[in-house]
């Protein structure tokens, strides 16, 4: 009976070690994938969210200024036509 417990203990220890190795392999694979993705993203000309938001705000301001100028031109053209 004692040998059966020893065999079960050995199998249990083997399974525990296998799970530890599997966990280590998973963590290693995750780190390798993260490193690969970081390098891939660094090679691209991507902008940060802050840069994107700043450019979007500039574009919005330019659009509003263009609309105001277009309205002003229309008003000046209307005034010029009525003055003829």
The answer to whether the predicted template modeling score (pTM) of the entire model surpasses 0.75 is no
Handedness of CA 37, 38, 39, 42 (dihedral sign): positive
pLDDT in the model for residue 84: 63
List per-residue pLDDT tens for the chain, 84 residues long: 566 688 888 888 888 988 889 999 999 999 999 999 988 888 888 888 999 999 999 999 999 999 999 999 999 999 999 876
Q: At a CB cut-off of 8 Å and minimum separation 6, what does 55 contact?
A: 47
Where do the structural domains in the chain lie, given as residue ranges? 1-45, 47-84
């Amino acid at each position: 009976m004692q040998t059966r417990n020893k065999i079960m203990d050995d199998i249990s220890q083997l399974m525990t070690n296998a799970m530890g190795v599997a966990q280590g392999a998973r963590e290693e694979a995750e780190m390798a994938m993260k490193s690969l993705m970081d390098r891939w993203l660094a090679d691209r000309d991507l902008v940060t969210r802050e840069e994107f938001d700043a450019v979007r705000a500039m574009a919005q301001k330019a659009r509003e200024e263009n609309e105001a100028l277009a309205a002003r031109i229309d008003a000046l053209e209307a005034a010029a036509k009525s003055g003829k």
